[in-house]
Amino acid sequence: GNSVTQMEGPVTLSEEAFLTINCTYTATGYPSLFWYVQYPGEGLQLLLKATKADDKGSNKGFEATYRKETTSFHLEKGSVQVSDSAVYFCALSEGGTYKYIFGTGTRLKVLA
Amino acid sequence: DVKVTQSSRYLVKRTGEKVFLECVQDMDHENMFWYRQDPGLGLRLIYFSYDVKMKEKGDIPEGYSVSREKKERFSLILESASTNQTSMYLCASSSSSGSLYEQYFGPGTRLTVT
């Protein structure tokens, strides 16, 4: 079946460091791909999305490119801030259905 | 802005109690979901509903039931709470129009069963 695999955390970085959080997926068909972020004590909120191969989603300085050839959707940010400390979830939407499949989440801690 | 609210942020219940978790959304969304979130396991789908009175089992429905009598409200019921149901419960909703079915989440209910 379809699945999403994320790198295990926690990831600890200094402020202004470069961030990459890896995400790969297994899916039949053409899923849509998402990154959600969960700040401490809150629910998940959509960070960015991509619907087809080579699409790049971007928001708040974060970017991810839908790579069909490597079945990946890695999250990147050029310069992280303390306020980016959160848990990040990669997810896919099975084509034509309402259901999402989530990765296990990667906790990011940014130190001042 | 879409708003999804959950009835409690924190809840402590005893083993064997019947527990109701309520979720309300204000965007007229057709689809609603209940997940549980556990460390190292991510989000797992318990049940979802694509219309009033309609429901489908997710990946881990055992020990849970749901109710959707009105479009805006989706309830999760633990018929007889057990300690292994201690978890964070997240509700979400999405629209059936368009193609992305973007999900909007509530703040979560942290349930402890003692």
Is residue B101 pLDDT above 90, yes or no?
A: no
Query: Are the beta carbons of A20 and A76 closer than 8 angstroms?
Result: yes
Nearest chain B residue to A96, by CA: B99
A/B interface, count of CB pairs below 8 Å: 50
Taking 70 as the threshold, does the pLDDT of residue B31 lie above it? yes
Contact B50 A98 (CB under 8 A): yes
Chain A residue closest to B30 (CA)? A98
Whether A44 contacts chain B with CB within 8 A? yes
Q: What is the pLDDT of residue B28?
A: 92
Confidence of residue B32 (pLDDT cuts 50, 70, 90): very high
Please state, in angstroms and as integers, the Cα–Cα distance from residue A35 to each residue in A4, A30, A47, A87, B62, following that order: 11, 17, 5, 10, 28
pLDDT value, residue B100:
64
Mean pLDDT across the stretch B30-34? 94
Per-residue pLDDT, A96: 62
A106 and chain B in contact, CB less than 8 A? no
pLDDT digits 0-9 by tens, A55-110: 999 999 999 999 999 999 999 999 999 999 999 999 998 766 678 999 999 999 99
pLDDT score at A9: 85
A103 in B contact zone (CB under 8 Å): yes
Compute the average pLDDT of residues B37-49. Answer: 92
Residue A10 preceded by cis peptide, ω within 30: yes
Is residue B1 pLDDT above 80, yes or no? Answer: no
Inform me whether the C-beta atom of residue A93 falls under 8 Å from chain B C-beta atoms.
yes
- The per-residue pLDDT for A103 is 93
A-chain residues near B90 (CB < 8 A): 43-44
Measured distance CA(A55)–CA(A76) in Å, rounded: 14
Q: Which amino acid is at B25?
A: Q
pLDDT of res. B24: 97
Nearest CA in chain A to B95: A98
For B71-80, give one letter per residue: b (16+ CB within 10 A) or e: ebebbbebee
- Using CA atoms, how far apart are residues B32 and A91, in angstroms rounded to an integer? 17
Which residues in chain B are contacts of A105 at CB distance < 8 A?
42-43
Interface contact A99-B48, CB threshold 8 A:
yes
Rounded to 5 degrees, what are φ and ψ at B7?
Answer: -65, -30
